[in-house]
């Protein structure tokens, strides 16, 4: 798994963010903003 630092996540495209969110089973990811998905993804790794 890639390093899920905020700088890494911010460099991803929205399509890549959606794929990551789907992989981590973040509910309703398609309705969230990129910033919110990034926050959720960083919380998952903790």
Mean pLDDT of the chain: 79
- At residue 28, does pLDDT exceed 80? yes
Write down the domain spans for the chain.
6-44
Q: Which two tokens stand for residue 10?
A: 């911010």
Summarize the confidence of residues 11-30 as an average pLDDT. 85
38 or 18: which carries more pLDDT confidence?
18
Q: Cα(15)–Cα(45) distance, rounded to whole angstroms? A: 20
- What dihedral angle (degrees, nearest 10) is formed by the CA atoms of 32, 24, 4, 12? -50
Q: Which two tokens stand for residue 18?
A: 């959606």
Q: What is the pLDDT of residue 46?
A: 55
């Amino acid at each position: 798994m890639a390093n899920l630092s905020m700088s890494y996540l911010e460099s991803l495209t929205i399509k890549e963010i959606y794929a990551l969110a789907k992989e981590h089973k973040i509910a309703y990811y398609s309705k969230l903003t990129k910033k919110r998905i990034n926050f959720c993804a960083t919380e998952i790794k903790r």
